[in-house]
Amino acid sequence: MQNIQAGGFAIRVFDAVKALAFIGDLSMGQPTDHSLRTAWLAARIAQALGLDEPSRVAVVEASLLRWSGCTANAPGFADVLGDDVAGREAMLAQRPDWAEPLEPLGGAGVALAPLARIHCEVSSEVARIIGLDVATETALRHIFETWDGRGIPDRLAGAAVPDTVFVVSLAGDVEIFSRVYGLEQALKLIAQRADARYPARLAALAAAEAPRWLAGLEGAEAPPFDDVLMTPQMGKTTSAELIADIIDLKLPWMTGFSRAVAAAAAACGARLGLDAQAQDRLYCAGLIHGIGRAAVPNAVWNTRGRLPAAAWEKVRLVPYWTSRAGKQGGALAQIAELASWAYERLDGSGYFRGAGPEAFAQEARILGASVAWVALRSARPWREALPLAEAQQLLLAEAQRGRFDGEVVHALFDAGTAPHRGARTRLQDERPGVRISAREADVLRAISLGASNKTIARDLGLSPSTVRTHVESVFRKLDCSSRAAATLKASTLGLL
């Protein structure tokens, strides 16, 4: 791991992809190795089909990034299914009643088409940002299309859908159905999808080979995922800021939060005299501290007032899941462990460990205080951002109660808000020609935080039609069609 002097914080693409796969699995209610297992199976299917090397690479990469767009449409799934995590788990397992809430909305095909479009646009943009081949980007853009033309969002059929999409779909079905229902029932469900979700020849291949594939996957020794799944492009470097942006897409009001925590933590570390490596660790830990947030339904995060006990238990596990993300190895392992201390408190009242002061390293003290500090200064659905003086008073009171380190809190105040040297992403994908006006920037910031056109018009003193014109102009300049994709692209380009 190293800092990119031009602006981004560099990690290996493969480590970023595995982190995004972990976030996606949490968001979809899946075991945290689901995407890894799916990619392993997809590689076997591609090999059995005799696909060429570029196609085999695209199959693996698309399998790993298949759910990278699901934080972006989590608000929409929460609206139509109530629980965006459990609802999508039921959808993937094809439980009998999963689509009942969608019937009044015109059925699954109608209700989910706009959400699929958001997902596909964001996941394909992720592939582009990190420099993967256009075949991977194309597969992700069409990942929910089907052989019979009943897929979403564009109702493509047959040869109009890349073969890689069918391979990834089959691999995902083999992994999920066999795990949930057992092999025999899995093969029956796959047979029912022949010449519908994927061509019949793929379903026949699964009937013949799935037992052998799964036996290899479930062998006595865990499959060497890194050796099998690493592709040439994933050996390069990319910016860790992308992980933060994907995390924050889950809740529109969180846009930019992880980057702000990262900048605050690094600046505080510098103020306290930590060396450059420690500052970099703090910065990266701030970026990824919210990985585990994906496991908690949006309805919980949007709750006003005291959380019910069951919901609170889910929140308490957020840093646990962040810690687990590091267990997949790679450069983020040590960083994820530090990041998982974000909600611990010196008096033992934090979570998930409930650790006391003797367990706290200085970097953990800095990170926890930085998260609280940025949260106080950020707007939430139930309150406005606190004024500077009030936020300082509250954090100082918490330090006096023994929850935060007083020296760290004062250093946070003194450090200011200057961004870390890696706070802005400047990668090969940056579009130097993107120029937006000051008013378009105001509108872009507002839509990135989830504001409706009506709300933006009221807050900026504009007519709704003028706001709509600005939104359309921003979408055209950023080459996107959804607010989530515009937010991701704008964050990458440093426009927010």
13-232: CATH architecture? Orthogonal Bundle (1.10)
| pLDDT at position 423 over 60 | no
Question: Are 228 and 242 contacting, i.e. CB atoms less than 8 angstroms apart?
Answer: no
290: left (phi over 0), alpha (psi -120 to 50) or beta: alpha
Q: Considering only CA atoms, which of 87, 194, 213 is closest in space to residue 147? A: 194
What is the Cα–Cα distance from 115 to 73, expressed in whole angstroms?
6
249 secondary structure, DSSP code = T
Average pLDDT of the residues in 249-267 = 96
Query: With DSSP H G I counted as helix, E B as strand and the rest as coil, what are the percentages for the chain, rounded to 5?
Result: 65, 5, 35
What digits encode the pLDDT tens for the residues 65-82? 999 999 999 999 999 999
| pLDDT at position 466 over 50 | yes
450: left (phi over 0), alpha (psi -120 to 50) or beta: left
Grouping H, G, I as helix, E, B as strand and the rest as coil, residue 237 is strand
- CA angle, 254 as apex, 251 and 260 as ends, to 5°? 155
What is the Cα–Cα distance from 66 to 245, expressed in whole angstroms?
17
**Band (311; pLDDT cuts 50, 70, 90):** very high
Q: Considering only CA atoms, which of 284, 271, 262 is closest in space to residue 413? A: 271
Same fold, 13-232 and 438-492: no
Average pLDDT of the residues in 480-491 = 94
| pLDDT at position 365 over 80 | yes
Q: Considering only CA atoms, which of 26, 63, 28, 15 is closest in space to residue 43? A: 63
Q: Considering only CA atoms, which of 311, 287, 290, 291 is closest in space to residue 300? A: 311
What digits encode the pLDDT tens for the residues 193-230? 999 999 999 999 999 999 999 998 886 555 678 888 99
Q: What is the DSSP string of 260-276?
A: HHHHHHHHHHHHTT--H
| Predicted pLDDT of residue 426 | 40
11 secondary structure, DSSP code = E
Average pLDDT of the residues in 427-441 = 71
What is the Cα–Cα distance from 124 to 139, expressed in whole angstroms?
8
Fold of the CATH domain 240-415: Hypothetical protein af1432 (1.10.3210)
| Predicted pLDDT of residue 358 | 84
What is the Cα–Cα distance from 103 to 107, expressed in whole angstroms?
4
**Band (357; pLDDT cuts 50, 70, 90):** confident
**Band (327; pLDDT cuts 50, 70, 90):** confident
What digits encode the pLDDT tens for the residues 262-308? 999 999 999 999 999 999 999 999 999 999 999 999 999 999 989 99
| Predicted pLDDT of residue 72 | 97
What is the Cα–Cα distance from 371 to 363, expressed in whole angstroms?
12
| pLDDT at position 428 over 70 | no
Average pLDDT of the residues in 238-263 = 96
Q: Which two tokens stand for residue 280?
A: 């970099």
Alpha helices in 401-452, H assignment, sequence order: 406-415, 438-448
Burial of 356 (0-12, 13-18, 19+ CB in 10 A): middle
Q: Considering only CA atoms, which of 371, 341, 373 is closest in space to residue 359? A: 341
Mode of pairing for the β-strands spanning 237-239 and 9-12: antiparallel
What digits encode the pLDDT tens for the residues 54-65? 999 999 999 999
Measuring CA to CA, how many Å separate 204 from each of 177, 207, 484?
16, 5, 38
User: What are the boundaries of each domain within the chain?
Assistant: 13-232, 240-415, 438-492
Average pLDDT of the residues in 223-245 = 90
Q: Collect all residues with Cβ–Cβ distance below 8 Å to 110 and sequence separation of at least 6.
A: 102
Q: How many CB atoms lie within 10 A of CB 414?
A: 11
What is the Cα–Cα distance from 469 to 116, expressed in whole angstroms?
25
What is the Cα–Cα distance from 255 to 388, expressed in whole angstroms?
20
What is the Cα–Cα distance from 391 to 376, expressed in whole angstroms?
6
| pLDDT at position 473 over 90 | yes
438-492: CATH architecture? Orthogonal Bundle (1.10)
What digits encode the pLDDT tens for the residues 91-109? 999 999 999 999 999 999 9
Strand arrangement of the beta sheet that strand 9-12 belongs to: 2-3, 9-12, 237-239
What is the Cα–Cα distance from 416 to 266, expressed in whole angstroms?
11
Residue-averaged pLDDT of the chain: 92
385 secondary structure, DSSP code = P
Q: How many CB atoms lie within 10 A of CB 110?
A: 11
| pLDDT at position 1 over 50 | no
| Predicted pLDDT of residue 461 | 94
**Band (132; pLDDT cuts 50, 70, 90):** very high
pLDDT cut 90: percent of the chain above it: 86
pLDDT cut 70: percent of the chain above it: 94
| pLDDT at position 399 over 80 | yes
